[in-house]
Amino acid sequence: MKIYKTIAAIVFLQAAAFTFGQQVSSFPETDWQITENKDGVIFSTRRGNCDVFPGKKPLYYSFLKIENTGSEPKQLVFNFGLAFEEACSGCDDYSESHVEITLGPNETVEGNCMFSNHLLTRLIVNPNLAGGWKFKSEILTNLKINNQ
């Protein structure tokens, strides 16, 4: 009887460790880092994990924050690209990473795990799938800033 309890405890602990292991990601969270500072507009990026699918490993994203530090509205046009060793994803004007946004004076917007500004959130790695490209960095291309 004691051996059955021991076996049951071992099975339970292994199952718990496996379940916990599925919830933990090995990708590091980062703080905001300034990527570009131009014409009173500051672009910063950070990386983080988002629990998107219950029971699966969190997905690793890049988030973009844009701050208009000026006293006039700004119209911004750019591509929020991701540089990988294999290629650049979203670096051309005809991609889904093309962003056109107007920010009011002293306004800030940012991407997050709620995807409220989905154009400011880019998937870097899905650890639930095998393979994938090797991420290098975020990149802003074709940046244009106009006063309104």
The whole-number pLDDT of residue 26 equals 59
Q: If pLDDT is split at 50, 70 and 90, which confidence band does 95 have?
A: confident
The whole-number pLDDT of residue 11 equals 40
b/e code 92-101 from CB counts within 10 Å (16+ = b): eeeeebbbeb
Structure-model confidence comparison of residues 69 and 16, the more confident one:
69
Q: Report the chain's C-alpha Rg in angstroms.
A: 21
In this predicted structure, the answer to whether residue 2 has a pLDDT above a threshold of 50 is: yes
CA distances from 140 to 18, 99, 116 (A): 39, 10, 20
The whole-number pLDDT of residue 93 equals 85
- Phi/psi at 16 (5° precision): -65, -40
For β-strands 74-84 and 135-147, DSSP reports them as: antiparallel
In this predicted structure, the answer to whether residue 87 has a pLDDT above a threshold of 90 is: yes
In this predicted structure, the answer to whether residue 3 has a pLDDT above a threshold of 80 is: no
Enumerate the domain spans of the chain: 26-147
The CATH label, of 2.30.29, 2.40.30, 3.40.50, 2.60.40, for the domain at 26-147 is 2.60.40
CA distances from 85 to 102, 124, 135 (A): 32, 13, 6
> What confidence tens digit (pLDDT) does each residue in 11-33 have?
444 444 444 444 444 589 999 99
CA atoms of 137 and 85, how far apart (whole Å): 10
Burial of 58 (0-12, 13-18, 19+ CB in 10 A): buried
Structure tokens at 105: 């004076």
What rounded mean pLDDT belongs to the chain?
87
